[in-house]
Structure 1
Amino acid sequence: MFRKEYTRIESSTQHSSVNEFVVINIPEEDVEPKQIILDPDDQPMWESAKIVAPTPNSAIIQLDVDDNFVINSTHLKMILENKFDGYLRADPHDHIREFLAICDMFKYGEMHSEVVKLLIFPFFLCDKAKTWFNELNEESIISWEQMRRAFINRFFPPSLFNRLLLEIRNFSQNICESLTEDWLRLKNMLQKCHGHSLAKGVIIQIF
């Protein structure tokens, strides 16, 4: 006596294709091997995929470092705790200054100084800033200065500079604000407008 059963299963084994279904012979005692049918529609979708897109390379060109080169774990932890998100309230110049100050605390040798900055800079970014970095052309950054300029140009564009400079030139004292508070507020505005090049006489006149 021969018996055939048609059952859908999810596991994959050695099989042969019959009329677009997969027949699997499972031996049983005293009976002819049972035939279980695999429906191709039940197979994981990735099994039928023929093309897998390559993962893009980093914007920073591959750096030449020694096989034994290791970045200090404390250094990397401090960078991760001072991330730049790229939103309007974040000052890119202040963050670069903080980034460099942290890097200067750890010594890797003169040859590796720039390499370290480039290697850990992506970990310094998050949210909007990390999205910007990931969208840069592959292997388009070859030096730290190029990375710094690209970063500043994106998050401190000329339009922002012009707006801050206009606010400084139109500066005026607020109601119930003391001269000391007034002066401190102006100094804060000047610090945020990096590269304003205003002479001391012009600043005093504005004040």
Structure 2
Amino acid sequence: MADDQPMWGINRAVAPTPRAAIVTIHLEDNFIVKGHHLSMIKDRQFDGRSLADPHKHIAEFVEICEMFRYGNTNTDAMKLKLFPSSLAGEAKIWFNELSPGFTQQPNESLVDSWLRMKDLLLSCHGHGLGRGTIIQIFYHGLDEPTQAILNAGGIFLYKTLNEAYRLLEDRVLLKLDWSKKNKAKAIRKTIALVESEEHSPLLEKMEALTIRIDS
């Protein structure tokens, strides 16, 4: 997807699979996995045991998937479709218990949600998700009031990829700038209070009176 095209163009191509953590991309109705392709994947399943290497498993899974082509079918869509079949045992149980997609947490702000989304992506090396897909997943994981905030300046999904990304990043910068200003104000107030106490004529008179009484 080009950065200057509207976001709505991929709206129907990305959706969470019911009761699954995989976000699927549209597949042709006649898509059928080749038997020997599926056999190769199941022969190298990852079971989650302590001696199993998840990084090696992913590398082998991708290597096998890249051996096969299914006409014009999106390669990423094919990988997403087949990945659950590459898991077994405890790994499959863990996968099935994952929450579907990205969801905004209760009382979580728009900015905090976006920052958490970015942290999740940083922890998932080689996720292969494009910026457009990431923003789509993020938007659909927000509650309605927060979506309304993004739509306040025009329908969010009608914006170009660059515009949508810039809007989210500007919100972060605005919050950081606001936090810095508030901290600076608090420091200035503290300094002013200390200075006023140190140089107050009334305070000096009271100290002098105290000295006289003590003597």
> Which band: TM-score by shorter chain?
0.3 to 0.5
- Tell me the TM-score normalised to structure 2 length: 0.38
- Tell me the TM-score normalised to structure 1 length: 0.39
| Larger proportion of strand | 1
